[in-house]
Every structure is written in C-alpha cells, then in structure tokens.
Structure 1
Amino acid sequence: MKKGTVVLAALLLAVTLGILFHHHQRSQRYAQALRLAESGDASGAYGILVGLGDYADARERAAGLVEEDPALPYRGAAKGDVVSFGSFEQDGDASNGPESIRWIVLERFDDRLLLLSADVLDGRQYNHVPFQDVTWADSDLRAWMNDDFFDAAFTPAQRGIIPSVLNDNADQSITGAPGGAPTQDRVFALSEQESVVYLSGGANRSDIGEALASEYAASGALTVTEDGTADWWLRSPGTYGFAAQFVDAAGTPVASGANVDVLYGARPALWIDLSEVGGGGR
C-alpha cells in the first residue's frame, strides 16, 4: 500500500471517529436534557436543548418547554442583553409571517425585566387631532400599543407574563405641561424620566436611543435617515399640551417635543414577570 493511501485512510478514520464521538456527546447531552425535564428542571433541560440545535427533536422539545412556561428563556437575562419575545410584521412581506421582535433589556429587578423594542416597529401619530391638548392616557399611541400591537405581537401564553403596571405620568420638567392621570399599561412608551435614566451619555444614546426602522415601518410615510434610523415617541408631554416628547434619530431625547399629529416611530416597552407561568388571557 502506498504511503499516500495510508495517510488518506488514517485521515478518514480520524474524521469518522471524530464524527462518532461528537454524535455520542450530543446523544448523552440529549439524554441528560430529557432526564432534567422529567425531574422538573425545565431551565436546565431548556439550556441543553437549545445548545443542541437541530439534533434529533431538540428544537421541538425546547419549544414545548417554552409553550408551558413562556418566561423560561428569559430567566437568565441581564441588563443590556438583547432577547427575542413575540412577533410582529417587520420585513414588509406579510406572506412569510411576522418576524421575532428583538428587545433590549433596560433593567432587571428581581423577577422582572423591563424591555424596549430594539427597533422602530411602526410609524404612528401620538394622536391624530392637531393642536388639541392630549395626555398619554387618552392618546392614540397608547390605545394602539395596548390593543392592536399587544394582540398582534403576543400569544395568549406570552400575554400571561406581561403584567399591567401603574405608570405615573409626570408633568413636563421645564414648562409643567400636564402629564395626565396615572395609567395601567401592559405596553407603553418610555417617559421623560426613563429617557434620562436610560439614554444619558453618548454610549447609551448610540446603543439604545438610536434605533433602526424595520422595513415595514419604513415602507410608509415615516421619515428615515440614510442610516435607516428614525425619531420615536416618548409618552411624556412636550412644551405644550398638544406636543409630546420624542427621541431623535441620533438617540437624543427632545424634551420640547413635537406636535402630536406628526408621524414618528413607535418603540414599545413592557415588563416581563419571570415568576409567572403563562396561562393566557389579556
């Protein structure tokens, strides 16, 4: 047998043994995941199944665990992470179904995460009536976020881990334009105070404040920069009662605001309750 043939045979044997060893490792990990799931350790099982990718029915089993406990993928999330939760039309092609929504984890308090959509998901008016005083409580944007968007973006099980929170809608910090009554919201726009906390400094404005508009959002009348970013609404009042604050396309909050009938981007925010096992409902 020629030397070259021997070397080739040795290489093929090494590759074959490597493949068999890798398959054996994955098989052992898969079996471990099944044991963990049976013992009630869903988090441990989920982590292994996700890591196995397309091995056997790992994806389907991981999805089944999430269906039973929608908070499962997010229990290890930390401030600054980007996670996927819910789905919404974003690529402008409705025929292929909605795309997963990416969220930035703005904060973690014990078993709750504050999320802000990583992208501008739609172009919306804060309110459709020009030069009419309005607060967040009665705005079109609030109605859209808590009704149309909420119903379209989340399954009944996912809705079960999105708590209704009491938002204190403070007056404008400079002129004192009224912020209106406190509101109970499942989904909301960030406030002036929250923009100060999370968008202070150049890095935060670049990493969090500056947001790309989805193809769907950009396909309408929304103004989008050459870089693909857009202005987006906050929920707090601007200088006057018929203005609302926003964050400009470069990620800088604008406290003076813009007229409420202007079309700006919508970046929903919400809390996820990690202690809840989703049971459906609004």
Structure 2
Amino acid sequence: MEDYKIGSIISFGDYNWRVLDIQNNSALVITEEIIEQRAYHDAYKDITWADCALRKYLNGEFYDKFNATDKSRIIPVINKNPDNQWYGSKGGADTQDSIFLLSLEEVCKYFGDSRSKLQNRGKNQRYWFERKDENNSKRIARLQGKEWSWWWWLRSPGRVNVKAVYIFGTDGNIGIQGNNILKGNISDGKCTGGVRPALWLNI
C-alpha cells in the first residue's frame, strides 16, 4: 500500500508521482520528473488551455496509456483557468480534465507556499515571478532518464496567448511572460518544453 502523505513519492502507472495535496480520499499528484518534451500547441496562434494540443494529448493518447484499473482511480475535475495577472491575457474557459498541467496559482501553492507573494505582486515582476522566492528551487525537475534539469510548462497563459507560463530549468523561477507555445524557447536553440502531468487520484 502506498504511503499517501504530502511530499511523498508514489508509483502509479509507469511513473513516480509526488503527492501535492490530499482531500478526503483523493490525492493531487504530479510526475516527479519531466516525462517528455512537447509543444504546448501545434500551431502559432492565440490559444488557451481549453483548446491547446497538449491538453488534447494528455486527456487522450496519454490517458489511454493507463490500464482500466488505473483509469478507474483517476478523478475528472473542473479546473479554473485564471487570466495572467500581470498582462491580462485570457486564461480561457473552465475545463473538465482527467489529466492536466498545473496553473501558475497552483504551482505557487504546492511547491512551498508562495501565495502571499503572488497576491502582493512586486513592481519589478515583469518577466520572472519573484526571482528571489525561497521556493524556486523546489520547482526544479529533471528530464526523465537524464542528469540535467529542464524547463516545464504550466497551463496558464503568458504575456500574450501565443505564449504559456513555464518553470525555468536551472533555478525554478516562474516565467510569467511565457515561452512560445509552438517552438518553446527559440533563443536557446532548443524546441519544446517539458511535460509534468498532474491528476487527482482516488486513494
């Protein structure tokens, strides 16, 4: 029997997952590592989480990798998708998801509690969310099978809706301006961001 405590690592399907929250008989979990690299969307156009290709993949092809027993434990939830608080770009409609990416608000809540900084935003927060936030290092994640860390997507919109917010690979800063939804961080010659699926699990 898995030990479901906040912060513990559990095995489910083919991955190891970190427990972020427990409510009643369910646990919010996220893959401990970045499990793959994918674009947020398959075209360079304004998009929100509700309509992006990555959401379709996670709730379709990726979800279907789980066997029937595991699928029966995954709890569909309604996710809120707030607008970007700095730039006003639209978060889009609420979504019903079996598997999803964390939002900016959720990552501030669950990787050490940085919600007070989110609610009392500093004047200089135009690219990074609180560059000196003591919880940044808790968001760093390795690419599965590799020794190095990588950047990973959140579902929240960036400065404009052809960008999505992300977690910087080397120090865990939250990139509130976002990276290009199709080609990721073009400037460093790399393409796509990391994917750390999250889900609510019946325990």
TM-score (norm 2): 0.82
Q: Residues 15-26 of structure 1 correspond to what in structure 2 (within 5 A)? A: none
> Structure 1 residues 205, 84: closer, same or farther in 2, change over 3 A?
farther
1:232 maps to 2:152:
yes
Distance 1:252 1:103 in 2: 21
> Which whole-Å deviations, capped at 9, do the CAs of 1:226-281 have from their partners, x for residues lacking one?
x511000000000001110011112221111111112100000000122xxxxxxx
Who is 1:5 aligned against? Answer: none
1:111 maps to 2:111:
no
The one of 83, 106, 130 aligned to 2:10 = 83
Q: What SS class does the counterpart of residue 142 from structure 2 fall into?
A: coil
> Which whole-Å deviations, capped at 9, do the CAs of 1:37-83 have from their partners, x for residues lacking one?
xxxxxxxxxxxxxxxxxxxxxxxxxxxxxxxxxxxx34x41101011
Q: What SS class does the counterpart of residue 149 from structure 2 fall into?
A: coil
The Cα of 1:150 is off from its aligned counterpart by 1.1
- Answer 1 or 2: which has greater strand percent: 2
2:71 aligned partner, one-letter code: R
Q: What SS class does the counterpart of residue 102 from structure 1 fall into?
A: strand
Q: What SS class does the counterpart of residue 143 from structure 2 fall into?
A: coil
Distance 1:128 1:149 in 2: 16
Distance 1:136 1:228 in 2: 28
The one of 236, 259, 268 aligned to 2:197 = 268
1:257 aligned partner, one-letter code: G
Q: Which runs of 5+ in 1 are unaligned?
A: 1-72, 88-100, 219-226, 275-282
1:197 maps to 2:109:
yes
Who is 1:140 aligned against? Answer: 53
Q: What SS class does the counterpart of residue 256 from structure 1 fall into?
A: strand
1:125 maps to 2:54:
no
Q: Residues 173-184 of structure 1 correspond to what in structure 2 (within 5 A)? A: 173-184=85-96
1:241 aligned partner, one-letter code: N
Q: How many residues align?
A: 174
Distance 1:206 1:150 in 2: 29
Q: Residues 159-174 of structure 1 correspond to what in structure 2 (within 5 A)? A: 159-174=71-86
1:143 aligned partner, one-letter code: K
Distance 1:144 1:205 in 2: 28
Distance 1:117 1:253 in 2: 18
Q: Which has the higher Rg, Structure 1 or Structure 2? A: 1
Who is 1:210 aligned against? Answer: 140
1:247 maps to 2:177:
no
Percent of residue pairs bearing the same amino acid type: 34
Who is 1:258 aligned against? Answer: 179
Q: What SS class does the counterpart of residue 13 from structure 2 fall into?
A: strand
> Structure 1 residues 205, 103: closer, same or farther in 2, change over 3 A?
farther
Q: What SS class does the counterpart of residue 233 from structure 1 fall into?
A: strand
> Does the 8 Å CA contact 2:102/2:154 hold for their aligned counterparts?
yes
Greater than 4 Å deviation, 4+ residue runs: none
Distance 2:137 2:68 in 1: 34
Q: What SS class does the counterpart of residue 84 from structure 2 fall into?
A: coil
Q: Which runs of 5+ in 2 are unaligned?
A: 115-132, 185-191
Distance 1:82 1:184 in 2: 26
